[in-house]
Amino acid sequence: MTSVAMPFLKCIKTSYTKQRIENSKRNGLRHAIFTPQTKELFKGYYIGEWKNDVKKGRGKEVDRDGWMYDGSWLNGKKHGCGILSKISRKDHTIRRYYIGQWIAGKKQGFGHNWFKDGSYYEGDFCRNKRHGYGRMWHCNGDYYEGAWKDDLYHGMGLLVKDNGNKYEGQFIKGKKEGYGTYYHIVTGQEQRGFWTNDWFINGTISDADFRQRATCPTPYPIPEVEAITRINDSQNTSEIMEDDQKAEFVFIEDVCKRAPKRIIENICVSINTCSCLNSIS
């Protein structure tokens, strides 16, 4: 008679303790609560997916300090797309701080970031720092658009100040460095040249195309002209001074004498400063 081996009679090699540990591991959708050590802190919890007792998949976590993350997880760390927020201890309102991509628990990729002082940034991140191309709205009214490196302006960029003045050119470690142009919107001038450590060291300053529309255009040493009564016959007349003062002669012309076809240095360096200069090319 032939004996038949029964599979259910095989000896189980896994110990009872190890088997209980494997069965106790969290897998799938679970809800874990973490009790805070002090009453002032929040009660931390995690609701989401697990694999082999590690957070993996979609989940939402609130830690004991009030930080809340809702998004994707991998190997127990934030990974993928997610939202980071903070719960206020006073009124329990929720304020968003970051929306975007994560890799291994750090901001990396494109994202939106709100700062405590009210500033806002949207652009590229690398290991929790602004790195790559991005735009920044500062709380003081300044605006920057361009390249970043390690949380600082670095590369080509455009910086617009709160008063309207703007700089377009190169930056290194957050400062103007290299060739760039600074537009003085208030005075209507362009400052082109080379910069070092935010200082203009070599270049030129000239009137911009928008100077005539500037709020406070730069004044020039134009000769003063006294207001006098126009005389039609264009002849020499004498003005007798009272109080026994000596008479002095004043020569009056009926029209403003036209300027030559070139700009006179140290007198007028701007076209259309006087009405008689409109025809100067």
DSSP notation for 3-72: ----GGGSPP-S-HHHHHHHHHS--EEEEEEE--SSTTS--EEEEEEEETTEEEEEEEEE-TTSEEEEEE
Task: Look at residue 208 in the predicted model and tell me its pLDDT.
Answer: 86
Task: Look at residue 10 in the predicted model and tell me its pLDDT.
Answer: 57
Task: List the CATH code of the domain at 25-220.
Answer: 2.20.110.10
C-alpha–C-alpha distance, residues 155 and 174, integer Å? 9
Phi-psi region of 52 (alpha: psi -120 to 50; beta: other; left: phi over 0): left
Name the stretches of the chain with pLDDT < 50: 222, 228, 230-281
Give the CA diameter of the chain: 158
Structure tokens at 76: 């127990």
Structure tokens at 124: 């590229």
C-alpha–C-alpha distance, residues 241 and 141, integer Å? 59
**Domain boundaries, given as residue ranges, for the chain:** 25-220, 221-281
Q: What b/e readout covers 172-187, taking b as 16+ CB neighbours within 10 angstroms? A: beeebbeebebbbbeb
Task: Look at residue 64 in the predicted model and tell me its pLDDT.
Answer: 86
- pLDDT tens figures, 217-266: 877 764 555 554 544 444 444 343 344 444 343 333 444 444 444 433 33
- pLDDT tens figures, 84-109: 999 988 888 999 999 999 999 999 99
Name the nearest CA neighbour of 53 among 83, 75, 37: 75
Amino acid at 63: D
Name the nearest CA neighbour of 70 among 59, 79, 86, 78: 59
Give the distance, in angstroms, between the CA of residue 22 and the centroid of all CA atoms in the same chain. 51
Question: Is the dihedral angle over the CA atoms 104, 107, 110, 111 positive or is it negative?
Answer: positive
